[in-house]
Amino acid sequence: MGAIVQTRKSTKDIAELKDQDLIRMYYYLKLTRQFEDRLRVLYRQGRFPGSVYLSTGQEAIPVGCGFALEPRDAVAPSHRDLALHFIRGLTPREILAQYMGKKTGPTRGKDGNIHFGNMKTNTLGFISSMAAGMPVALGAALAFKMRGEDRVAAVFFGDGAASTGTAHESLNFAAVFRLPVIFVCNNNQYAYSVPVEKQMAIRDIAERAKGYGFPGVVVDGNDVLAVYRACREAVGRARGGGGPTLLECKTMRMSGHGEHDSAFYVPSEKFAEWKRRDPVDRFER
């Protein structure tokens, strides 16, 4: 039996969402898209000391999960989860200050792009894209469990990171200690220039969870309601003592790895195909 594939058909948990929540979800999808479009322009104008890593095309993942988690839960966002920072209260002005290396940014000018967090909002600082946030999130989850707190931790990472040793050790550790953790993998088809089919021999990353002894779920990562529902279920399992879940959100990175990368290696048909599934347009419709 393979990984569980979830579709949007069941609306059971979505029914919990009020109109106001749906409007807020839409707000964060749009805010992230428009803010990142602006970052792209500023980068090209040479206004930032470092590079820029964007989440265009993947916004539904941090938004869907951001709404499925409670503020008391810990999140460890990846470099493609800007929406999570907005949902947890950082402002566009603060993020811009971060990119410009100003003292009004979350690292007060110590970093020029994505390496920041905010302990006041239970947002663990981003270390590296290659799964380094996983053991830290496990530490948070272990602390919650040992203290008997009703909190979970969610850690976000890419398909490339999913194949590192750290990721495998983390999945195993979480399983053995039955930690209240949600592993959210954005499978955006590329790890830098390497397509996913060239770095793993399986179709669904979620399949790996079975080898460690917990559920793996495949979800349409471009459907914010499907992501919300799948994450909500995983959060419920973690809170109830049922341990971890690996949530694989299928999506597409609709730009280069960073804005310094033209993504010349991605066939244009692939971009066109995924553009039709754009998460913001879909939710709007």
Ligand X SMILES: Cc1ncc(C[n+]2csc(CCOP(=O)(O)OP(=O)(O)O)c2C)c(N)n1
Of 137, 161, 174, 182, the one binding ligand X (CB under 6 A) is: 161
> What string of H, E and C letters represents the secondary structure of the chain?
CCCEEECCCCCCCHHHCCHHHHHHHHHHHHHHHHHHHHHHHHHHCCCCCCCCCCCCCCCHHHHHHHHHCCCCCEEECCCCCHHHHHHCCCCHHHHHHHHCCCCCCCCCCCCCCCCCCEHHHCECCCCCCCCCHHHHHHHHHHHHHHHCCCCCEEEEEECCHHHCHHHHHHHHHHHHCCCCEEEEEEECCEECCEEHHHCCCCCCHHHHHHHHCCCEEEEECCCHHHHHHHHHHHHHHHHCCCCCEEEEEECCCCCCCCCCCCCCCCCHHHHHHHHCCCHHHHHHC
Q: Does residue number 166 form part of the binding site for ligand X (CB under 6 A)?
A: no
Determine which residue in the list 118, 121, 128, 166 makes contact with ligand X, applying CB under 6 A: 128
Nearer to ligand X, 143 or 263 (CB): 263
26, 35, 177, 192: which one binds ligand X (CB under 6 A): 192
Instruction: Select the residue whose beta carbon is closest to ligand X and give its number.
Output: 158
Which amino acid belongs to residue 190? Y
Does the footprint of ligand X cover residue 142 (CB under 6 A)? no
Q: Does 208 bind ligand X (CB under 6 A)?
A: no
Q: Using CB under 6 A, pick the residue from 43, 99, 144, 190 that binds ligand X.
A: 190
Cβ proximity to ligand X: between 8 and 277 the closer is 277
Is position 158 an interface residue for ligand X (rule: CB under 6 A)? yes
CB of 45 to ligand X, least distance (A): 24
Contact pick of 257, 266, 278, 283 for ligand X (by CB under 6 A): 257
Stretch of 9-17, 68-76, 100-108, 159-167 contacting ligand X, by CB under 6 A: 159-167
159 in Cβ contact with 187 (< 8 Å)? yes
130 touches ligand X (CB under 6 A) = yes
Q: Which of 25, 253, 254, 259 binds ligand X (CB under 6 A)?
A: 253
State yes or no: residue 271 binds ligand X (CB under 6 A). Answer: no
Phi-psi region of 182 (alpha: psi -120 to 50; beta: other; left: phi over 0): beta
Alpha-carbon distance of 285 to 276, in angstroms, equals 12
Least gap, CB of 266 to ligand X (angstroms) = 12
123, 188, 222, 251: which one binds ligand X (CB under 6 A): 188
Beta carbon of residue 134, minimum distance to ligand X (angstroms, whole number): 11
Q: Is residue 129 part of the contact set for ligand X (CB under 6 A)?
A: yes
Q: Which is nearer to ligand X, 229 or 257 (CB)?
A: 257
Of the pair 122, 163, the CB lying nearest ligand X is at: 163
Furthest-apart CA atoms within the chain: distance in Å: 52
Q: Is residue 159 within the footprint of ligand X (CB under 6 A)?
A: yes
Which residues are at the interface with ligand X (CB under 6 A)? 80, 128-130, 157-161, 186, 188, 190-192, 253, 257
